[in-house]
Chain A
Amino acid sequence: MSSRASLMFVLHAHLPYVNHPQDSSFLEENWFFEAVVETYVPIISALERLSAEGIRPGVAVSISPTLGAMLENEALEAKLQEYIESRLELIEKELDRAQHDPALLKTVKLYQKLYSDAAALMHKYSGDLITPLKALQHAGQIEIITTAATHAVLPLLTRPEAVRAQLAVAAEDYLDRFNRKPAGFWLPECAYEPRLNSYLKLSGFSYIFTESHAVELAAATAPNGVYSPYRTSNGLGLFARDAASSREVWSAKFGYPGDPAYREFYRDLGYDGDYEYVRPYLGADGARRPLGLKYHRITGAGPDLSAKQYYDPEAALARVEAHASDFLARRMKQTEEFYSGRGTRPLIVSCYDAELFGHWWFEGPAFLEAVIRKIRAERLPLQFVTPSEYLNSCQEPQEISPGISSWGENGYFDPWVNETNDFIYPAVYSATDKMIETANRFRNQDLNSLSTRALNQAARETLLAQSSDWAFLLYIGSHAEYAKGRLEDHAANALKLLSEVIEKRVDEQDLARLEQQNSLFPRLDFKVFSSVSKF
């Protein structure tokens, strides 16, 4: 059957840059390890499986430059391998402990497979998960896009130089990593304002994604709502997120992830287990922390974790199948309603944080795979398309002027600007302004190697200070001290390095330490921050 609608899945994979080479078990590095095992490996495996069976996934994957840098960091890869081996060792003990408890044993075996699969995929690609993604893109199975260098909320950067630097560094990073120029740009937090159009276009990007109301605010000139792509006045392509398909997957309250059969995120062996038994797997501080082995299901809406019942992998998988069918039935209904009214085929754009699938919603990767398989198996008149593919084949999109918006809570910038985190902005702006001023001062000067290295590292530190993650972590009260410390350290590092260059007294030992710790963007040139940039 010919397709009656196009579906576009965009998975935005991002983690803040966390790299502490001096520490063997740094708590926040676990974000990366958990995401690799629970999200990135299962998604890559599913994409490879589908591709091998001749089912083209056709999804878009956004890999943030900070995540890309971590995926290619050999020191982190070594720690990741230790993390997986440590979990497999614990799982061996758990298999023994669960041998007379069939309900528990099923789930322990599930984790054994999860961690063994992660170890196998890491081994297959010599620890580099960029390789399979690159291969999938090269084979035309997926499209990979990028986002701002350190995931800054761009409308909150008032200096044009700062926005240009975030975009130029991202474009160069993508070229280095994927051996081609990027076409698509994921606006961090879907945060859009019209001022960005020209910078995006000048940086070579062809299209972006926005929240639904960016288009709804321009409703007078966007007759198809979110169901077709548009372009801005300077020819930048624009896709708007479909709120309905997002809600079904995102919402823990209304969406699939809240199903009672699915795995409960917050009950974990790290908190439940006998302390002496789990102690070897905790950090150096001995504090209880999640170990990733979660044996219970959501069970009910109540917050009482002690009331949770054992997880049943088969029951959860049955719900995955049902939810995939329901998701597609709803898309069919959306399609029929649109098609009957307009006589044209809609484009439904569903955008999600990749880490939702697997990390937060354990069954998410299976859901994704089931959705893609069902379209083929049930011969549904729906077709997955990548953004470039769609833009290359559709009629010239209509021009609109989208509204200021984001996909953050309430639809604007509240999560990143409020009483819990507004105190960070003087530090961000002090570093940014000083970086721009110093780049302008030295951009045409012959500098010695040490000064150049210091200016380039100052640019890295400035970019890292601009990351959206610090404000968000402060807002949700999770790892808040860490977020505040990171923000302050990056701003202070940038200011110190810039002063040292101006005063011709660069501390080489300290510079080398920062270069080792914050080692992303190896080709970064500080001139990217200058007011008249070559970039």
Chain B
Amino acid sequence: MPGLLKPLPAEDRLVLLPKNPGTFFIFWQFDAGRTEAFRSGALQPEVELRLVYADDKAHASSRRVAWQPARAYLPVPAQGRVYEAALYAQRGGAWEKLLGSNQASAPSAAGQAEERAYASLEFHKRSQP
């Protein structure tokens, strides 16, 4: 099932989204020139995703992943902080910043003492006949 069937415009984009207190979701798209650079090997196929704290731009974490399928889940370094991401790739042995992201806040974890009933999922998740 996963995968879009209709082509999207080839353009640069790096988007950082909160998922939960421990995880960010990040995805990226490249323009035609950069896509070709990855395909031709001018850019190495592994990219590095770096998280920085939005307030002081201090390094928070980094992770290397394959340039495709162009999405990844990143552990949140510290809850309750605001982050920005950047995507780097290696060209000729040197890391080059290709994309920067929006700012995203990591939620703080709630200490929920009781089992909650979360919206209609209670009903939807029951199996259909």
Contacts and interface: CB of A to CB of B under 8 A. Distances in A.
Interface of A: 155-156, 158-159, 189, 193-195, 212-213, 216-217, 243-244, 246-247, 249-255, 257, 265-268, 271, 303, 305, 353, 355-356, 360, 403-405, 407-415, 417-420, 422-427, 429-430, 433-434, 474, 476, 478, 480-481, 484, 488, 491-492, 495
Contacts of B21: 412
A405 B20 CA distance: 9
Given A405-B110, A430-B29, A433-B13, A412 B122 contact: no
Nearest to B19: A417
Contacts of A429: 13, 15
A427 B1 contact: no
A175 to B, nearest CB: 28
Given A213-B110, A216-B110, A404-B108, A426 B13 contact: yes
B120 interface: yes
Contacts of A422: 2, 25, 27, 71
Contacts of B106: 404
B15 A251 contact: no
- Mostly helix, strand, loop or mixed at chain B's interface? loop
Q: For chain B, which range describes its interface: under 10, 10 to 19, 20 to 34, or 35 or more residues? A: 35 or more
Contacts of A417: 17-19, 25
Interface string B116-129: 11111111111111
Nearest to A480: B1
B110 A217 contact: yes
Contacts of A216: 110-112
B68 interface: no
B13 to A, nearest CB: 6
Given A266-B129, A415-B121, A488 B27 contact: no
Which residue among B25, B110, B129 has the maximum number of chain A CB atoms within 10 Å of its CB?
A: B110
Contact of A407 (B107, B119, B123): B119
Given A360-B120, A414-B19, A492-B6, A403 B115 contact: no
Contacts of B107: 403-405, 412
B120 A355 contact: yes
Contacts of A404: 18, 105-108
- Mostly helix, strand, loop or mixed at chain A's interface? helix
Contacts of B94: none
Given A404-B18, A407-B119, A476-B124, A217 B108 contact: yes
14 contacts: A158-B104, A159-B102, A216-B110, A252-B122, A252-B123, A254-B115, A303-B127, A403-B108, A404-B106, A405-B107, A429-B13, A430-B8, A433-B13, A478-B124
Contact of B119 (A213, A353, A433, A495): A353
A508 B1 CA distance: 33
A384 to B, nearest CB: 22
Nearest to A410: B20
A194 B25 CA distance: 19
Nearest to B101: A158
Contacts of B2: 419-420, 422-423
Interface in B68-117: 70-71, 102, 104-108, 110-112, 114-117
Contacts of A415: 121
A252 B17 contact: no
A353 B120 contact: yes
A405 B4 CA distance: 29
A434 B13 CA distance: 12
Nearest to A265: B123
B58 interface: no
Contacts of B19: 412-414, 417-418
Contacts of B123: 252, 257, 265, 356, 360
A253 B104 CA distance: 35
Interface string B5-24: 11011010101111111000
Contacts of B115: 247, 254
Interface string B27-50: 101000000000000000000000
Which residue among B17, B20, B115, B119 has the maximum number of chain A CB atoms within 10 Å of its CB?
A: B119
Given A216-B110, A417-B17, A427-B8, A408 B126 contact: no
A412 B20 contact: yes
